[in-house]
Structure 1
Amino acid sequence: MVKFEELGVSKWLCESLDAMKIYTPSKIQEATIPKILAGYDCIGGAKTGSGKTIAFAAPMLTKWSEDPYGVFGLILTPTRELALQIAEQYAALGASMNIKVSVILGGGDIVQQALELQRRPHFVVATPGRLADHILSSGEETIGGLRKIKFLVLDEADRLLSNSFGSDLERCFKVLPPPEKRQTLLFTATVTDEVRALKEKPVPEGKLPVFVHEVESVDKVAIPATLTTNYLFIPSYVKEAYLNAVLALEENADSTVIVFVNRTQTAELLRRTLRNLEFRVASLHSEMPQIERINSLHRFKAGAARILIATDVASRGLDIPSVELVVNYDMPADPDDYIHRVGRTARAGRKGESLSFVTEQDVKRVLAIEERINKKMDKYELVTDNKVIETSLHKTGAAKREALMAMEREGFGEKRKNNKIKNAKRKNSRLQSK
C-alpha cells in the first residue's frame, strides 16, 4: 500500500497526517499529489468525502515548507462554511510549522480582515465576493501579497465557474500572477464541460500541460448503492405537516436528518415551526449572521440538534459525519444538486436514506433526476394521508402560524434587502470614483 512519503509529501507533514489518523492516501490523493509536486496544473474530480482537500493541501504545504513566505497560496471556494472547514484543515496540518492561515469571507469584520491580509499570512482561504470587495476598496498594502502567490485553488470549481461568480472571479484573477507564473488547481465533485474546457486552453511556453484525473465521477457513479431513494407525492400547501409526520416516526426518532430547501425564507420558517413542535433543530442559510451559521453547524455536528434545515450552502464539501436521512423538502432544479444533497448520507460505505417531497409542480424535475441517477425512486410507505390528517395537520398548522407571526414581528428578510441596496450603492460609488 502506498504511503504519503512515497508520493513526495514532506516528512513533517506525514507526521501531521499520522497524528490525524490519516495513514494512506485516497485514490484522488495518490493520483494528483505527485503531479502537483512536479509542477503540473491539475483538475481533480472525485465525489464528496474522498479527500480532495488533502489532495491539494499536502503538495502546497510541502512546497511552502521548502520556501516559506506569505502569501504562498490562495484557495477560493463558493461557501463560507466550506472556507472555514478548509482553513481548519490547513491550520491542523501545519500546526507544527506555525502556519498562518487567513479566512476572508462575507459576514466577517472587513477591517480586521484587511489587517490580517497586510500581515501576509501563508495561505488565504476566501469566498470570491468578499475578496473582490477587498481588491476594490482595501488598497495595495492589503492585497499586495496576492500578487506573488505560487498556488491558486478553485475548490468546488464547477460552482465557482458558473455565471454567479464570474465578475468576482475576474476581479480576483486580475491581481494574481499570470497563469504561467503560478500553479492552478481545480477540484470538484462534478467535472463539468466548463471545467474540462480549461484543459483545452493553449499551454504557455515553459508550462506543463494540465493534468486531469477523475475518480468515480458522478458521470459514472451517480449515487452510492447503499442509498435508498424514496418519494412522497403531496399537496404543496401542507408540506410542513408531512415533514412533521416523517420526523416524528418512531423509525426516525433518533436519526440525524438534513432537510434541504430552496429558499432562505423557507429554511427560517421550517426552523421556527419545528422548534415550536419541540424538535431539536438548527438551520443553515445565507441570511444568518456568520457566527450563527458556525454555531448551527457545530450544534448539528455535536448532536445538540438532530435536524438541520439547510439551503444548498450545506450540499457540498462540508464534513458532516453520520447523517442517516436527507429530506428534499423542495426539489432542486438541477439533477446534480440532487446528487450533492443526497450525497450527505450513505458515505464511506454506510447505509443512508433519502426522501423527496414531490408536489404537482415537481414531476418534470423528478423525471430528470431519475434519468440522471439511472434509478426510479420508490414510494415512501411509512406516512399516509390519513395519518397526517389524524396526527399532524392541526398542530403543525398552529406551529406554522406562530412562526410566521414571529418572523413578521422581527422583520425577517428586511435586513438582507437593505444590505443589498447599501452594497449596490457602495460598489457603484467605488466604480465611479475610479
Structure 2
Amino acid sequence: MSENQDVTFADLGISPWLIDTLQALAIYKPTDVQKGVIPQILKGHDCIGGAKTGSGKTAAFALPILESWSKDPSGIYAVVLTPTRELAIQIDEQFAALGSNMNLKHTLIVGGMDMVAQAIALSRRPHVVVATPGRLADLIRSNGPETTAGLQKVKFLVMDEADRLLSSTFADDLGDCFSNLPPSENRQTLLFTATITDAIRQLKEKPTKGNKPPLWLYEVESDKISVPSTLQQNYVFVASHVREAYLIHLLSIPENAEKSVIIFVNRTHTAELIYSMLRLLEFRSTELHSQMAQRERINSLGRFRAEAARILVATDVASRGLDIPSVQLIINFDLPRDPDDYIHRVGRTARAGRSGQAISVVTEHDVELVHAIEDRVGSTMSEYEHASESKVLERLKEVTDAKRQASLEMIDRGFGERRQKQKEKQLMASGRLDVDDNRNKRKKNKSDQKVKKRKF
C-alpha cells in the first residue's frame, strides 16, 4: 500500500457503513498507525502497534474488529483489556460511537461498579467487552459457566497499554482471564502501546501456532516515546517545606491564572491533600486517584473535560492514555521516579502540534531525578522566570493554614481507611492477620489520630 497522505479508510478495507459513521464523527483520514495496522489485522495477523496517545490507537483496533464483526455479529466477538478504569471507559465510549449504526452491544467491566449487574451483562454475551483484568478475573472466579461461557468463543483479544498489562502486577489476573479465552491459535491478539519494550519486541520472534500468518509489528517512527517538540520544559527550585506555597503561586500568577492545569503527584494521600487545600483556597479544581470510587472518578474527569474545573490533581493514573486535549500546563509537584513516567505526564499537553508547558517543582532531594529525566529526554529544563519568592512569602501563612485544615479534614473523613480495610481482609483471608489483633490495631490508630489532631 502507498504511504502517501491520500490513503482513505476505503483503501484500508473499511466498509461504507463504517466510513459513514467516521464522517459523522468528523473523522475523514486515517492516521499513520491506522494505515499501518488495519489492513494487516483484516488479513488475520496478530498485531503489535506502537504509537503515542492521541494518534488514533483505539480506532486502529476498533475499526478492523467492527469490520470483521459486521460480517458475523454473534456472541462475544472481542475482549479489550486495559490497565485502568479511565482508559476502559474511553475505549468503551469509542466502541459505542463507532458501532452505533449497527446496534453494537457492548459492556464495561471495571472495579467500583455493581458486580452482580456486570455478571448479568456478561452472561448476555455482548459483542464487545471492555474490561480491567482485575474485575474480569473477579467475575470469572465468582461465577459459573452460565456467565463466562461466552468468552470461550472470542475472536479478538486486545491488550491496550500492553507494556503495563504484561508487568508482574497483572500476571495472576491475566492468567485467569486467558484461561477462559480461546487458545492463541484460535483468536487474533492485538497489542497496542505507547512504549514498545524489549519484552514486547521479543514476542515477534515466537513462532505462530496453527495456520496463522506471522505476527505483524508496526511502530510509528516519529512516535517513539519522547517529549513533544512544542513543549516548553521549566523547573522552579524550592525548599521542600514551602512547596505548597510555590504551587499556589504558580497557579495564581497572571501567566497561568486562566490555564487548564494538571498537577501530578506520586501518592494518593498527596493528591487528596493538595486537592482539599486548593478547594479551601477557592481554586476550581478536581482530583483523580485510585482511592476514589468509580462514579467519583468519572464525574471528576467529566468536570475537567467540560472545563468546570480548571485544575486536575492526579496521580499517574492520569499520565497515560487519557485524551484531554485542552490541557495547557503540567505541574510536577512530585517528580516521578521513572523518567519515562515524566514523558507520559508532560505528554498530556502540547498535543497535535499545539504548544504547552511543563513546570517541575524541584527540591533539594530531587537533583538526581532531574538529571535522570534530562538524560532520558535529551534536553535540559530551563529555570522558570515568573516565580517570585517575595510573592510566595506573602501567602505562606494562608497556604500553611489551608494545608493544616485540609489535613484535619482528611483525618475526620478517615481518608485511606477503605484501602487499609481491604488489605486487612486479604491478609485475614490468607491467615496472615489475626482478627483480634486487627481490631486492636484499628483502635490504636484511631487513638493516635486523635492525639495528632489535638496537637494542631
TM range (shorter): over 0.9
Return the alpha-carbon distance in structure 2 between the equivalents of residues 427 and 35 of structure 1: 46
Q: Which one of the candidate residues 57, 62, 66 is aligned to 2:62?
A: 57
Return the alpha-carbon distance in structure 1 between the equivalents of residues 368 and 215 of structure 2: 38
Q: Which residue matches 1:231?
A: 235
Q: Given the alignment of the two structures, is residue 247 of structure 1 paired with residue 251 of structure 2, yes or no?
A: yes
Q: Given the alignment of the two structures, is residue 272 of structure 1 paired with residue 276 of structure 2, yes or no?
A: yes
Q: Which residue matches 2:368?
A: 364
Return the alpha-carbon distance in structure 2 between the equivalents of residues 50 and 257 of structure 1: 22
Q: Which residue matches 2:422?
A: 419
Q: Which residue matches 1:351?
A: 355
Return the alpha-carbon distance in structure 1 between the equivalents of residues 387 and 333 of structure 2: 15
Q: Secondary structure at the match of 2:113?
A: coil
Q: Secondary structure at the match of 2:325?
A: coil
CA distance 1:171–1:184, shift in 2 (3 Å): same
Return the alpha-carbon distance in structure 1 between the equivalents of residues 20 and 171 of structure 2: 39
Q: Which one of the candidate residues 81, 106, 110 is aligned to 2:111?
A: 106
Contact 1:190 1:217 in 2 (8 A): no
Q: Given the alignment of the two structures, is residue 83 of structure 1 paired with residue 99 of structure 2, yes or no?
A: no
Q: Which moved more, 1:348-357 or 1:166-175?
A: 166-175
Q: Which one of the candidate residues 308, 315, 318 is aligned to 1:311?
A: 315
Give per-residue Cα distances to partners, 1:149-185, cap 9 Å, x unaligned.
Answer: 0000000111111121111111111111111000000
Return the alpha-carbon distance in structure 2 between the equivalents of residues 91 and 239 of structure 1: 43
Q: Which one of the candidate residues 25, 37, 41 is aligned to 1:36?
A: 41
Contact 1:17 1:93 in 2 (8 A): yes
The code of the aligned residue for 2:405 comes to: E
Give per-residue Cα distances to partners, 1:203-237, cap 9 Å, x unaligned.
Answer: 21311111011113554x61111100011111222
Q: Which residue matches 1:46?
A: 51
Q: Secondary structure at the match of 2:359?
A: strand
Q: CA deviation at 1:254?
A: 0.8
Equivalent residues, number: 427
Give per-residue Cα distances to partners, 1:250-275, cap 9 Å, x unaligned.
Answer: 11111000001111100000000001
Q: Which residue matches 1:331?
A: 335
Return the alpha-carbon distance in structure 2 between the equivalents of residues 409 and 216 of structure 1: 51
Q: Secondary structure at the match of 2:337?
A: coil
Give per-residue Cα distances to partners, 1:86-133, cap 9 Å, x unaligned.
Answer: 000000100111111111011010111000000000000000111111
Q: Which residue matches 1:432?
A: none
Q: Which residue matches 2:306?
A: 302
Q: CA deviation at 1:426?
A: 5.8
Write the mapping of 1:122-201 to structure 2, written as runs, cut at 5 A: 122-201=127-206
The code of the aligned residue for 2:55 comes to: S
CA distance 1:425–1:83, shift in 2 (3 Å): farther
Q: Which runs of 4+ in 1 moved over 6 A?
A: none
Contact 1:282 1:296 in 2 (8 A): yes
Q: Which residue matches 1:263?
A: 267
Question: Identity across aligned pairs (percent)?
Answer: 59
**TM-score if structure 1 supplies the norm length?**
0.96
Q: Secondary structure at the match of 2:286?
A: strand
Return the alpha-carbon distance in structure 1 between the equivalents of residues 427 and 91 of structure 2: 29
Q: CA deviation at 1:423?
A: 4.7
Q: Which residue matches 1:3?
A: 8
Q: Which moved more, 1:200-209 or 1:331-340?
A: 200-209
Q: Secondary structure at the match of 2:255?
A: helix
The unaligned stretches of length 5 or more in structure 2 are 1-5, 433-456
Return the alpha-carbon distance in structure 2 between the equivalents of residues 169 and 232 of structure 1: 42
Q: Given the alignment of the two structures, is residue 408 of structure 1 paired with residue 411 of structure 2, yes or no?
A: yes
Return the alpha-carbon distance in structure 2 between the equivalents of residues 203 and 362 of structure 1: 46
Q: CA deviation at 1:428?
A: 8.4
**TM-score if structure 2 supplies the norm length?**
0.91
Q: Given the alignment of the two structures, is residue 283 of structure 1 paired with residue 287 of structure 2, yes or no?
A: yes
Return the alpha-carbon distance in structure 2 between the equivalents of residues 155 and 9 of structure 1: 22
Contact 1:47 1:216 in 2 (8 A): no
Return the alpha-carbon distance in structure 1 between the equivalents of residues 71 and 430 of structure 2: 40
Return the alpha-carbon distance in structure 2 between the equivalents of residues 345 and 395 of structure 1: 30
The unaligned stretches of length 5 or more in structure 1 are 430-434
Q: Which residue matches 1:393?
A: 396
Q: CA deviation at 1:197?
A: 1.6
Larger Rg: 1 or 2?
2
Q: Secondary structure at the match of 2:11?
A: helix
